[in-house]
Structure 1
Amino acid sequence: MNKLIVIGVVLILIIVGGVYYGYYYFSTGNLNIYIQDPPGNLQNLKIYLTISSIMIHKINGSWITISNKSITVLLTSNITFITSARIPAGEYNEVFLEISSAQVVMGNLNISAKIPSGVFKIHIINGMYLKGGSSESLLISFPHVTFANGEIIISPSVTAKVIS
C-alpha cells in the first residue's frame, strides 16, 4: 500500500513539473543581444561603453528588464555578444540601454565621451516577434560618433535589427 502511495505522489510530481515546464518553455523565448559599430566609423579610436541596464519594450506597453549587470564593451566592427535572457513570447519594438560611462581611447589619451541623457532608446527596425520556445538575436549598431566643441559625442541615433 505504501509503495502505491509513493508511486502516486511521484507520478503527480512528474506531471505537475512537466506541465509547468511546458507552460514556461512555450510561453517564453530566448533573446540574445549583440552590439557592433559599422566598419570605418571609429578610425583610430577605441570607444568603451559601460552599460548598466538593458530593457526591452513589449508592444502591449510593458518594459522587461534583460540585465541590470554592468557590462563594459568595446565598440568594434565585429559583432560582440552582450547578454541573453529568457523573456515572454510576443512582439517587441524598442531596446533601452542605460550607459553609466563612455570612454574614448586615442593612443595614450583616455577621454570621457558625452552621451546626451545617458541612455539610448533604440527602435527595433521592423520590430521583433519572439515565438514561445524559439530564439531571436538582436544586433545594436552605433552609427554616429562626432567631434564637436572639443567633445566626443556618441549620437543617440542607434538602431537595432533582428539577425539570424
Structure 2
Amino acid sequence: MNKGIIGIVIVLLVLVSGIYYGYYYFTTGVVNVYVQDPPTTQGYKIYLTISSIMLHKVNASNDSWITISNKTITILLTSNMTFLASSRIPSGEYNEIFLEISAAQVQLGNINISAKIPSGVFKIHIINGMDLKGGSSQSLLISFPHITYTNGQIIISPSITAEVIS
C-alpha cells in the first residue's frame, strides 16, 4: 500500500514539474544584449560603466520595465560586438532598452576625461520593436553612432539605436 502511495506522489510531482516547466518555457524567452560603436580614426576610447539594463514591455498592465541585469560592468566601446547581458524574460513586445550609466570615461592618448551623461541613462528606441516569442531567443544590438569632442567637452550622441539581429 505504501509503495502505491509513493508511486502516485512521484507521478504527481513529475507531472506538476513538467507542467510548470512547460508553462515557464513557453511564456518566456531569452534576450541577449550586445553593444557596438562604429570604427573611429579619432584616436580616443570610450569606457562605459553600466549598472542596470532594462527592457520596456509594450502594453504591460504592471511592471512595464523588465530587468535584464543589475550587475555593474565596464565596457570599452569598439567596432566589435561586445556582449552585455542575457536573461530569460516574459514573452511579448518590447520597444525600448534602458541603460543606467554610472560612469563614462574617454581616453585621449594618455589622458582620461570624464564624459557627462545627462540624467545618467540612455533610453534607447528599438527599431521596429522586438517581439519575443515564448521558447525563443532574440539578440539586440545597441549602436552608438558617434561622439564629439568640442570646446573641452565630450558629447556622446543621444541618437543611440537598438535593433534585433537574430
Q: TM-score, normalised by structure 2?
A: 0.95
Alignment partner of 1:140 is 2:142? yes
2:2 is matched with: 2
SS in structure 2 at match of 1:140: strand
| Divergent runs of 4+, >2 A | none
Select between 70-79 and 145-154 the one with higher mean Cα deviation.
Answer: 145-154
- Using the TM superposition, give the Cα deviation of residue 47 of structure 1 relative to its aligned residue in structure 2, in angstroms: 0.6
1:11 is matched with: 11
Give the distance between the partners of 1:121 and 1:104, measured in 2 at CA. 21
1:82 is matched with: 84
RMSD of Structure 2 on Structure 1 (CA):
1.0
Give the distance between the partners of 2:104 and 2:71, measured in 1 at CA. 16
1:30 is matched with: 30
Identity of aligned residues (%): 74
- Using the TM superposition, give the Cα deviation of residue 38 of structure 1 relative to its aligned residue in structure 2, in angstroms: 1.2
Give the distance between the partners of 2:155 and 2:68, measured in 1 at CA. 26
Superimposed CA distance per residue, residues 44-98 of structure 1 (whole angstroms, 9 cap, x where no aligned partner): 1111000011110011141111111111110000001000000000000000111
Q: Is the 8 A contact 1:116 1:156 kept in 2?
A: no
- Using the TM superposition, give the Cα deviation of residue 148 of structure 1 relative to its aligned residue in structure 2, in angstroms: 2.2
Q: Is the 8 A contact 1:115 1:155 kept in 2?
A: no
Point out where structure 1 has 5 or more consecutive residues left out of the alignment: none
1:116 is matched with: 118
Letter paired with 2:57: K
SS in structure 2 at match of 1:65: strand
SS in structure 1 at match of 2:16: helix
Point out where structure 2 has 5 or more consecutive residues left out of the alignment: none
Q: Is the 8 A contact 1:56 1:64 kept in 2?
A: yes
2:58 is matched with: 59
SS in structure 1 at match of 2:46: strand
- Using the TM superposition, give the Cα deviation of residue 156 of structure 1 relative to its aligned residue in structure 2, in angstroms: 1.7
Give the distance between the partners of 1:117 and 1:34, measured in 2 at CA. 22
